Homo-oligomer: A and B are copies of this chain.
Amino acid sequence: MKKLVIIGGDAAGMSAAGRAKRTLPDMEVTVLEKSEDVSYSACGMPYNIADPERDINDLVVRKAEVFREKQGINLLTGFRVDVIDPDTRIVSGVTLRGDAFSFPYDNLMIATGATAIRPDIPGADLPGVMPLKSLNDGRKIKAYIAEKRVRKVVILGMGYIGLEMCEALRDRDIEVEMIKPRPELLPWMERKLAGIVQEEVEANQVRLYPGRHVQQIIKKDGRMAVVCPEETHPADMVLLAMGVRPNSREAGAAGLELGPGGSIAVDKTLRTSVSSIFAAGDCSDAFHVVTGEKTWIPLALRANRSGWAAADNICGKATILEGVVGTAVFKVFDLEVAKTGLTVDEAREHGFDPVSVTIETRSRAHSHPGSSTIYAHLVGDKKTGRLLGAQLVGKEGAAHRINAVAVALHGQMSVKAFSDTDLSYAPPFGPTWDPLLVAANQLLKKR
């Protein structure tokens, strides 16, 4: 019987393991997970941390036993793979308890995910300086806040994990300062929309310090302090939210081709440059549907989906997984922030001739109570008339609305065709012309 070994027991790995077992129940499926946790809602961690009453283990979707006993998966936790040998088809490593192990495979699937980036500065390894990536990170943070009675956190980074966490901490009435090296909050956002997000964050007493290069983190009078040339920021805890990088070191060492950002290069069947080895999830790259080029956008849906598709191909069910369009949403305080497709800068970098509009309209119909402002930014290609991307910010109606554009991007739709789509209208949910249609109509005039 064929042996499938999967490195990594998170979204992509467990999706693949379950799928493979359902498709070929006789296949021997072994999952080697370096931590003790499998199958949990990583994206839910900020919301769990926001509520001191909730158990962090609420985020576990399925326990290891279920995979082992109900699904017949040989799931081994505490198994860290160090070496992949494509020639002998053997992976090997050392367990958390110090025991060496090795497993032969017919097919290998790498689903090692991504790791939080740590700053290369003195003090980055002090206790109380913590990233939020794994469930264990979440556990540590939650326990630390409680035990140390944390009253102030400095967050390094202002991406969406940082923003979700600043909300979570403010919900607990913890003081928050955010620091980053680049001069702008959310540099990929249209400036007007980024300004709305910034106002919302600052209105919730979060102090932003962009353009700061942190020199070191020091211990000082029983607290910590984040030292920048401009000023020093005392803190009870420092949260690292500087982004992630793909866990591809072992794959790279094994000679597998790497893609953008050092992610593992895969084709549309999720196969790597070595035919017996597949990769899926945050460690692997994807095709961008709009540019047709490789990209690395680590997100949960893609992780699940690519895990399934890899398993199907491994099990002999030929499956092509088309690419991503880069849809992402997050909530920060009372705002919904959403994007899909390319920004103006990205469009230009990929050879398009971008035109864009930014409009401001209402989230509900004329005179309907409870309405708020919604901002829509749309990007199109002047040359071909093609729709390239969108961004939305508003107190309501941004998160799901963006999907209309996401689907249009998958369909390679023109701005004109999108502007003619029959989108929903009822007074409690929007104006007669959906904000996206208003933006599309205006964008058409720029051709």
Q: Taking beta carbons and an 8 Å cutoff, which residues of A are in contact with B?
A: 11, 41, 43-44, 47-48, 51, 58-59, 61, 289, 299-302, 304-305, 321-331, 336, 338, 340, 365-369, 397, 399-408, 410-411, 413, 417-418, 420-430, 432-434, 437
Q: A407-B408, A411-B407, A420-B322 are in contact. Are A301 and B58 (CB under 8 A)?
A: no
A-B contact pairs, 6 of them (CB 8 A): A329-B424, A397-B400, A399-B428, A400-B430, A403-B423, A406-B424
Most interface-central of A406, A425, A426 (chain B CB within 10 A): A426
Please determine whether A413 and B407 come into contact, CB atoms closer than 8 angstroms: yes
Bound: A422/B410 CA distance, A: 8
Please determine whether B366 and A41 come into contact, CB atoms closer than 8 angstroms: yes
Residue of B nearest to A61 (CB): B366
Bound: A41/B47 CA distance, A: 39
Please determine whether A403 and B44 come into contact, CB atoms closer than 8 angstroms: no
Please determine whether A301 and B331 come into contact, CB atoms closer than 8 angstroms: no
Please determine whether B44 and A368 come into contact, CB atoms closer than 8 angstroms: yes
Most interface-central of A59, A322, A340, A423 (chain B CB within 10 A): A423
Distance to closest chain B CB from A252 (angstroms): 27
Residue of B nearest to A408 (CB): B407
Distance to closest chain B CB from A94 (angstroms): 32
Please determine whether A43 and B425 come into contact, CB atoms closer than 8 angstroms: yes
**A302 contact from B330, B422, B427, B430, Cβ within 8 A:** B422
Q: Given contact pairs A301-B433, A327-B424, A406-B422, enumerate 19 new A-B contacts (beta carbons under 8 Å).
A: A41-B366, A41-B367, A43-B427, A44-B367, A44-B427, A47-B427, A48-B367, A299-B425, A301-B437, A304-B432, A322-B420, A331-B429, A399-B429, A400-B403, A400-B429, A407-B408, A410-B417, A410-B420, A410-B421
Distance to closest chain B CB from A75 (angstroms): 20
Distance to closest chain B CB from A437 (angstroms): 8
Please determine whether B403 and A365 come into contact, CB atoms closer than 8 angstroms: no
Q: What residues of chain B lie closer than 8 Å to A411, measured between beta carbons?
A: 407-408, 410-411, 413, 417
**A422 contact from B11, B301, B413, B432, Cβ within 8 A:** B301
Q: What residues of chain B lie closer than 8 Å to A423, measured between beta carbons?
A: 301, 327, 403, 406-407
**A407 contact from B43, B48, B289, B421, Cβ within 8 A:** B421
Bound: A405/B400 CA distance, A: 12
Residue of B nearest to A409 (CB): B422
Bound: A402/B397 CA distance, A: 12
Q: What residues of chain B lie closer than 8 Å to A366, measured between beta carbons?
A: 41, 44, 59, 61
Bound: A405/B51 CA distance, A: 35
Q: What residues of chain B lie closer than 8 Å to A61, measured between beta carbons?
A: 366
Please determine whether B424 and A324 come into contact, CB atoms closer than 8 angstroms: no
Most interface-central of A330, A338, A434 (chain B CB within 10 A): A330
Q: A43-B365, A47-B368 are in contact. Are A304 and B403 (CB under 8 A)?
A: no
Bound: A302/B417 CA distance, A: 14
Most interface-central of A324, A404, A434, A437 (chain B CB within 10 A): A404
